Amino acid sequence: MKRLFVIPLLLLNFFCANSSTEEEGKIIKATNPIIWADVPDVAMVRVGDTYYMSSTTMHMSPGVPIMKSKDLVNWKLVSYAYDRLADNEKLRLENGKNAYGAGSWASSIRFHNGRYYVSTFSSTSGKTHVYTTDNIEKGEWKETTFEPVLHDNTLFFDNDGKVYMIYGAGDIRIAELTDEVSGLKENGINKVIIPNASRVASEKVGLPAEGSQMVKHNGYYYLFNITWPPNDMRTVIVHRAKEITGPYEGKVVLKDRGIAQGSIIDTPEGDWYAYMFRDYGAVGRIPYLMPMKWENGWPVLGENGNVPDTLDIPVSEQLGVWGIVSSDEFNRIEGDAPLPLCWQWNHNPDDRYWSLSDSPGYLRLTSSRIDNSPLQARNILTQRTFGPESAASTFVEVSSMKNGDYAGMIALQKKYAFVGVKKEKNRYTIVMINGEKDEPVEVASFPLEQNGVHLKIECDFKNRTDKAYCFYSLDGVNWTAIGNTLQMAYTLPHFMGYRFGLIHYSTKETGGYVDFDYYRIEDRITGK
């Protein structure tokens, strides 16, 4: 602790690499899932020997994370396409409104004539968004928006110089864009190219075909989509045509554990792989990689119709989540980014009310308004939970809270768990609140007689156990379970895997503040 306690260095047990690597330098085979965390709707592009992947984080800010890899296995965050998607009541969590489950959805990523393009769309902004840069890792992104909203669009630059978006759900459409990719081209192509694309998987409609990703290979246009027939599972379908406008013929190319939505990529050596996500309960939608080959002009995904658990890709290590999550001591030196890329705010932050400089070495969160639910609180700073086990801990100093304030940690989803400190009648108590039901319940409370407390949340995602446990510690060494077990659940209103969050909000008066000393993550739990 910087102020209250001194913790031996050996107790700071957080990890910077995947602990499964047994010996340094040993060659291992990559395994699925590639990243056991919420990284859905992946889109990918290769530029030379480097791969870039975009994904969906919806209501989070910044959004549309960009990850980099040299081997398709180890990915690290390098950028975001935008800092804020838009500025409205939903994204500011005002007047009871929110953008949970909305924000921006599936993206497409391209490289064309020296520039990178990321396209996405949003019902929250009511627009289609295109972001461009000439330096995907260090450059600034330029935004262009236009109407209408093109659902699950895939941006495609054809060999003849024309630019298209293929999009839609059920009926798949094509729209020709301007050369500048700034909007629909006047009198350009705009029509349905595949009516009822789901039909190749089932005559009965469940989830209509969506999640378009277009690839051109050996003179054919291949359009990948996801569909979900009734009483079945997520299924990958592909349609192909000699002309981009059709006619298209289609077939099912993968039906295994619901692994679906994505596309294919080639290596510099000429090998092919497909990348898709799998629904895995409360941790979210996790990416899988599989070998792919061409047979009779069709992509054949996986091995004997299945996605293998072990890949024939030798690597010296597999980072897993460690390229997209990180511990943080909140120490900054001149030139450091205010927040590492692993952090995202729940909705748009109000930058006036958080600071890393007001108390150097600490993250300060100040309350600026009255909120009656942590789910509507602004300035919750989050990182992904991850599997098969994950834990996050912090220390929060609370001496400047005001009556009615809550501060601590949250396992964030519609069904949440909060562990932290409540101030009421000038007294501080450590509390655990279980938000599993429509009405949250304060399950436990204990008096706090010092100016801060260590807090921890552990998540067990093994075999979809999906349980979260809360703990507190007065000395940072000895931990005590508090409250009851949260049965986590992936809910459609939030449409996102659970997040660890640092939170402070007021229910009576504004102006109080708290200081978080650290954020430390581990890939194992003690259990309750």
Q: Can you give the pLDDT at residue 25?
A: 64
Mean predicted confidence (pLDDT) in 472-487: 98
15 in helix, strand or coil?
coil
323 in helix, strand or coil?
helix
Count Cα atoms within 13 angstroms, Cβ side, for 169. 11
Other Cβ atoms less than 10 A from the Cβ of 285: the count is 28
- Position 432 confidence tier, pLDDT thresholds 50, 70, 90: very high
Sheet of strand 163-167: strand arrangement: 154-157, 163-167, 172-177, 190-194
Task: Work out whether the CA dihedral 248, 253, 259, 265 comes out positive or negative.
Answer: negative
Q: Which residues contact 520 (CB under 8 A, 6 or more apart)?
A: 12, 13, 14, 327, 392, 393, 394
Q: Can you give the pLDDT at residue 383?
A: 98
Do 301 and 350 lie in one domain? The reply is: no
Asked if the structure places residue 16 within a domain, the reply is: no
CB 469 within 8 A of CB 485: yes
Residue range 162-187, pLDDT digits in tens: 999 999 999 999 999 999 999 999 99
- Burial label, 178 (beta-carbon count in 10 A; 0-12, 13-18, 19+): middle
Four-point Cα dihedral 25, 27, 33, 35, nearest 10: 20
Asked if the structure places residue 38 within a domain, the reply is: yes
- Position 26 confidence tier, pLDDT thresholds 50, 70, 90: confident
Do 262 and 167 lie in one domain? The reply is: yes
- Position 23 confidence tier, pLDDT thresholds 50, 70, 90: low
Asked if the structure places residue 458 within a domain, the reply is: yes
Asked if the structure places residue 465 within a domain, the reply is: yes
Q: What is the distance between the alpha carbons of residues 415 and 100, in angstroms, rounded to a whole number?
A: 13
Residue range 305-361, pLDDT digits in tens: 999 999 999 999 999 999 999 999 999 998 898 999 999 999 999 999 999 999 999
Domain that holds residue 438: 344-522
Asked if the structure places residue 331 within a domain, the reply is: no
Residue range 224-268, pLDDT digits in tens: 999 999 999 999 999 999 999 999 999 999 999 999 999 999 999
Q: Residue 265 sits in a domain of what CATH number?
A: 2.115.10.20
Q: Which of 405, 396, 393 is nearest to 470 (CA)?
A: 393
Q: Can you give the pLDDT at residue 527?
A: 78
Asked if the structure places residue 73 within a domain, the reply is: yes
C-alpha pair distances (Å), 360 with each of 241, 332, 388: 59, 8, 34
What is the share, in percent, of the chain residues with pLDDT greater than 90?
A: 93
Angle at 81 between CA 498 and CA 125, to 5 degrees: 75
The two three-digit tokens of residue 311, written as one number? 């890949």
Do 366 and 506 lie in one domain? The reply is: yes
Overall number of domains in the chain: 2
Do 47 and 184 lie in one domain? The reply is: yes
272 in helix, strand or coil?
strand
Q: Can you give the pLDDT at residue 63?
A: 98
Do 386 and 494 lie in one domain? The reply is: yes
Do 348 and 428 lie in one domain? The reply is: yes
Lowest mean pLDDT among 24-38, 165-179, 430-444, 447-461: 24-38
Does the reported pTM lie above 0.75? yes
Do 311 and 374 lie in one domain? The reply is: no
C-alpha pair distances (Å), 98 with each of 32, 85, 102, 105, 348: 34, 14, 9, 15, 10
Do 174 and 309 lie in one domain? The reply is: yes
Q: Can you give the pLDDT at residue 335?
A: 87
Do 45 and 121 lie in one domain? The reply is: yes
DSSP state of 352: G
C-alpha pair distances (Å), 215 with each of 158, 212, 221, 268, 293: 10, 10, 6, 16, 14
Q: Can you give the pLDDT at residue 11?
A: 39
Asked if the structure places residue 328 within a domain, the reply is: no
Residue range 285-319, pLDDT digits in tens: 999 999 999 999 999 999 999 999 999 999 999 99
Asked if the structure places residue 527 within a domain, the reply is: no
pLDDT at 19 over 60: no
The two three-digit tokens of residue 402, written as one number? 């005001």
Q: Of 279, 299, 317, which residue sits at a domain end? A: 317
Q: Residue 427 sits in a domain of what CATH number?
A: 2.60.120.200
Do 83 and 199 lie in one domain? The reply is: yes
Q: What is the distance between the alpha carbons of residues 223 and 172, in angstroms, rounded to a whole number?
A: 10
Q: What is the distance between the alpha carbons of residues 280 and 447, in angstroms, rounded to a whole number?
A: 38
Do 433 and 356 lie in one domain? The reply is: yes
Which position has the token pair 């009541």?
A: 89
Do 304 and 373 lie in one domain? The reply is: no
Q: Which of 218, 298, 229, 222 is nearest to 263 (CA)?
A: 222
Other Cβ atoms less than 10 A from the Cβ of 352: the count is 9
